[in-house]
Amino acid sequence: MFAVLPLRLSLRGLCLSLGLLCASSPAWAIDLPARFRSEAYALTLSQFVGGLDHPWGMAFLPDGRLLVTERAGRLRLVGSDGRVSAPLAGLPPIMASGQGGLLDVAIDPQFRSTRWIYLSYAEPRGQGRNGTSVLRAKLDETGLSEPKVIFRQQPAVASQLHFGSRLAFAPDGTLFVTTGDRYSERDQAQSLDNHLGKVIRIRADGSVPPDNPFLKQAGARPEIWSYGHRNLQGAAVHPLSGQLWTHEHGAKGGDEVNLTQAGVNYGWPVITWGVDYSGAPIGEGSRKAGMAQPLHYWVPSIAPSGMAFYQGQPFAQWQGSLLVGALRGQMLVRLALDGTKIKQEERLLQGLGQRIRDVRVGPDGLIYLLTDEGDGSILRLSPQP
């Protein structure tokens, strides 16, 4: 009911009078609903939910409701009418500081029968150390039950940066988990004896699949799928091929999109298309034998976050496109594909003035975006009638 309210109205007063979660209107660069254009469509961007505290991840349930995480350590359930629940009970201890907090959320492929959901988060480990962890728990109307931590990034590090932390299920039911290099430990992304700067592949109960690439290699962590990554904040499985695609932050330039395959070294920090924040070079250049090249990269950085393949009817001309949110770039990027080649980049919603943290395609075929703000929103993008 609030999808088309102009944001200059007193949303907070209206929401409170109806008993809904809502905060004061954010300092938008433009009013919503707003009109934008793409090459194929006139676009309408509207607010679906407001008043969220740095929302980080979202996932649609089979009944059309939406789970959304807030980095401060709250999980909320959003109805199809935009009503937001109180924080759900049963979450584990979470380190909500710096880039850490409650991060991504994923739904079990057999959710109707299992009720399992999966949460990634920055877990405090004692003595100022922490790491990316993944919790599996059953969802009910008020909270979580039967919690189990199914993955803990090792080693724990005293850092508030680079947790990575996207979750994506493969067609075979295995779960991909992306991790960051924790910034201060970037050289460890090249070592197989730890989980820093890696893509992890586990079963839904946390056990290791028997066909993981380093399972039988002495000294290697058996959960590792790929390595040589910096800070992966986007992961999506291609709906036709079942292949995992990821993107990761570069330093100053060098954000990457990768087709992320078993056992492959993606080069960080030995090779990169970016430079250090000081302007100094990193590693040995942009190419090296035995290290994979990205399918696409950005210089300067857009700080990509969240990613989804588009499938649906409302945007039929975008079928199969890869949709990427941008934090620094404050936009939505559409990458048109030809197989595994990126043939076109289209930059959308420029001028919005908001950091796009996550991207999802809803059951209605419309595109839902999270804005990473203290008064964050779920936005809904639709083709203009």
Look at residue 361 and give its three-state secondary structure. strand
> What's the sign of the alpha-carbon dihedral 89, 93, 97, 103?
negative
Is 162 annotated as catalytic? Answer: yes
Q: Which one from 54, 162, 195, 249 is the annotated catalytic residue?
A: 162
Tell me 251's DSSP state.
B
State both tokens at 268: 């960080």
Residues marked as catalytic: 162
